[in-house]
Amino acid sequence: MRIKNKVILREINVKTLKYILTYLVMFALAIIFLIPFIWMVVTALKIPDQVFSYPIEWIPRPVVWSNFINAWTIKPFTLYLKNTCIITFSSVLGTVITSSMAAYGFSRTHFPGRDLLFALMLGTMMVPSVVTNIPLYIIFRIFGWLNTFKPLIVPSLLGGGSFYIFLLRQFFLTIPLELEDAAKMDGCSTFRIWWTIFIPLSRPALASVAVLSFVSHWNEFFNPLIYINTQDKYTLSLGLRYFMDEYLTQYNLLMAASTLVVLPCIIFFFFTQRYFIEGIVMSGLKE
């Protein structure tokens, strides 16, 4: 009996040690990944002469809180914020709705060529985005959409991307067929089944799509740079670029503005991380 108790205690100690080591490694990695963000925030509170001082002063003296106010007012950032919100929230809403519709079609409906069409859609994930930039620019120019928000929003109303459709399709496959069959017996249409059954049950996966889409559109720089020509339509990412002058860059103000731009992404992820992780995990349970 004593020998058995010793074995049990030894196993418990080994498990406890593994947990401690795991958390220590995770904590160390978290600190490493946080160092650039910490440097950005610290730099945002410095005077210009302290930005590139060596060794790095992690505690700025003095702490210049006015950098955040100056960074926000030196450019029309309120206008940039408005433009970014219009583009981001329209794109996120369009992506969530249309990608879930497409995913429902690929996972639950049966039509000729469905699997081939799905394979072709997945194949587009292997095509670098730079390959499609020139054709898309020509198409949008023919439509007369240059210097408007349409090139930045309309693609999100058409599925938003192959990855989002694939992610939701994998999640929809985990929903029991019996729920759909019962709804059909009650006379529900395909649209109603999608809206009243699949959407409520897919909140984790939809949250994952929303988070990924939000971060992507909020931080997008290249597409606005191509399609937007006038300052009254600039986004926050383009506004940050104009802190960098040919002869002078105010890095403390640039870091202050960058901190303000990054905060919405952090806050949004903080409130949705539980659903985000759950959606990513559950989307891979069934092929």
- The full 3-state SS of 105-131, as one line of letters, equals HHHHCCCCCHHHHHHHHHHHHHCCHHH
Same domain, 142 and 192: yes
List Cβ neighbours of 174 (8 Å cut-off, separation of 6 or more).
Answer: 282, 283, 285, 286
Whether 50 maps to a domain, the answer reads: no
Both 75 and 217 in one domain: the answer is: yes
Asked if 216 and 105 sit in the same domain, the reply is: yes
Q: Which residue has the tokens 């049950």?
A: 201
Q: Residues 36, 136: one domain?
A: no
Length of the chain: 287
Same domain, 116 and 206: yes
CB distance 193 to 180 below 8 Å: yes
| Residue 58 forms part of a structural domain | no
- Which phi and psi (to 5°) does residue 241 adopt? -60, -30
53 belongs to a structural domain: no
Residue 130 covered by a domain: yes
**E strand map for the chain:** none
CB burial class (10 A; 0-12, 13-18, 19+) of residue 155? middle
Q: What is the pLDDT of residue 170?
A: 87
Tell me the C-alpha distance between 49 and 131, whole Å.
43
Judge if 178 and 37 occupy the same domain.
no
pLDDT at 10: 62
pLDDT value at position 285? 42
- Do residues 131 and 81 both lie within one domain? yes
Q: What is the pLDDT of residue 91?
A: 94
* Residue 182 and residue 270 share a domain: yes
Report yes or no on 99 lying in a domain: yes
The whole domain housing 29 covers 2-44
- 35-61 pLDDT, tens per residue? 888 888 888 888 887 777 777 778 888
User: How many separate domains does the chain show?
Assistant: 2
pLDDT of residue 286: 42
Per-residue pLDDT of the chain (287 residues; tens, 9 = 90+): 555 555 555 666 667 778 888 888 888 888 888 888 888 888 888 888 777 777 777 888 888 888 888 888 877 888 898 999 999 999 999 999 999 999 998 988 888 888 899 989 888 888 888 888 899 999 999 999 999 999 999 999 988 888 899 989 988 888 888 888 888 888 888 888 888 888 888 888 898 899 889 989 998 999 999 999 888 899 998 888 877 765 567 788 888 888 888 888 888 877 777 766 665 655 544 44
CA–CA separation, 171 vs 76, rounded Å?
42
> Is residue 59 in a domain?
no
138/79 same-domain check: yes
Residues 110 and 35 in one domain: no
Same domain, 149 and 234: yes
User: What's the CATH code of the domain at 184?
Assistant: 1.10.3720.10
In a domain, 214, yes or no: yes
Question: Are 38 and 76 in a shared domain?
Answer: no
Per the domain annotation, does 217 fall within a domain?
Answer: yes
Q: What are the angstrom distances between the C-alpha of 133 and each of 48, 91, 108, 136?
A: 38, 19, 33, 5
